[in-house]
Structure 1
Amino acid sequence: MSSPSHDTILQSARRLFGERGYRGVTVRDIAADAGISAALVMKLFRSKEKLFAAAQPDESLLTDLDVPTSELGRALVFRVLMRRERGVQEPWAMIPFAIQDAPDPDAARAEIRERYLAAVARAMGDTSPDRRAAATVIALMTGFGETLRTLGLFDHWGFDELVAHFGPIIQAQIDAAPPPPGNPLSLNA
């Protein structure tokens, strides 16, 4: 269970780590941004490394989606756009920074890759050993999230226009996932 202080610290940490990276932010910076003492930050998180790990994007952006698989592409794009409209940090865009700026980038890459692959594969029903379709969806969503955040290539597009254009692109990869073994649509059946 988290406290209001815990949530405030995480919110500040996510924003500051996202803007400046791991090395560009101190515990004091986060504490000042959160309006909390650095001692409380350390008491709750124990180290800058543990705070960084706690502040990283997670796969929960998929676990609470309650849409049929046939609508997952549009739902994912819709959520990115809603976060942009609300000025909320974009988890898809933060994945590269979370890895690059981690104290141990190789460990962070392996851990984040597995978490996201497992969650995306589960959400879209990709049971293939290499989860290739899930990996493609992650790449597309990461690129889409980062492009919206940094390049502004689609600033002149309307919300519905972006959902209508990019939703089917993501959905095509979701639909490309091989059916689960034993499924009547499986080529191996």
Structure 2
Amino acid sequence: MSGPSHAIPSSRDAVLDSAGKLFGARGYRAVTVRDIASDAGVSAALVMKLYGSKEKLFAAVQPDESLLNELQVPASELGATLVFRVLMRRERGLKEPWAMLPFSIQDSPAPEAARTETRDRYLASIAGLIGDTTPDRRYAAIVVALMMGFGEAVRTLGLFGGWDFDELVARYGAIVQAQIDACAAACR
């Protein structure tokens, strides 16, 4: 009888993990399907069977805004919650979608299309989350920019390493929350 299925990662998970790691470290153009297969411990044929192409695999490992859909907190706590999640991902060694956005767009096989698609998805998600009804989604744009900057500062630059976790959540969360509150006042 075999052990629990969660004890061994699936080939699909191994391929995704390897692709995310390699694309993140070297970029789209410098990574081959064979590189990913070798790192994942599978054949290149299996990678192609699972994803169809390198472009589709790259798309599968790109950050998405789905992490925003899981937020069920009062609007008054949203800024701190967004910041808290970035710091928790850092603490747990998980990928940081906010920090990955610029790299994934620049390394995309079609950067302009990736920029437009990613911008629209993130703006729509944040606008829905904070109730931004402005035609240009100006408050959502500021929140996205603040969170991307924070993700980059934490992950890429290694800023805030010596800060108290709760103090950083409170201070940077307040900056993000100010835009959320401004949106609530303007978009009534």
Return the TM-score normalized by structure 1: 0.90
Is residue 83 of structure 1 aligned with residue 89 of structure 2? Answer: yes
> Which stretches of structure 1, 4 residues or more, deviate above 3 A after TM superposition?
178-181
Of 113, 127, 141, which residue of structure 1 is paired with 2:119? 113
Which residue does 1:60 correspond to in 2?
66
Question: How big is each residue's C-alpha offset from its partner over 1:44-100, in whole Å with a ceiling of 9 and x where there is no partner?
Answer: 111101111111000011000111111110000000001000111100000001110
1:26-175 matched pairs, under 5 angstroms? 26-175=32-181
Q: Which moved more, 1:140-149 or 1:9-18?
A: 9-18
Tell me, yes or no, if the aligned pair for 1:126 and 1:179 is still in contact at 8 Å. Answer: no
Tell me, yes or no, if the aligned pair for 1:15 and 1:89 is still in contact at 8 Å. Answer: no
Q: Give the CA deviation at 1:4.
A: 2.5
Matched residues in 2 for 1:68 and 1:35: separation?
Answer: 44
The DSSP-based 3-state class of the residue aligned with 1:161 is helix
The aligned length equals 180
Matched residues in 1 for 2:13 and 2:126: separation?
Answer: 26
Return the TM-score normalized by structure 2: 0.91
Q: Give the CA deviation at 1:179.
A: 5.3
Q: Structure 2 counterpart of 1:39, which letter?
A: A
**RMSD of the TM alignment (CA)?**
1.5
Q: Give the CA deviation at 1:5.
A: 2.1
Change (3 A) 1:32 1:177: same
The DSSP-based 3-state class of the residue aligned with 2:183 is coil
Gaps of 5+ in 2: 1-8
Q: Give the CA deviation at 1:178.
A: 5.0
1:167-186 matched pairs, under 5 angstroms? 167-178=173-184, 186=188
Identity of aligned residues (%): 69
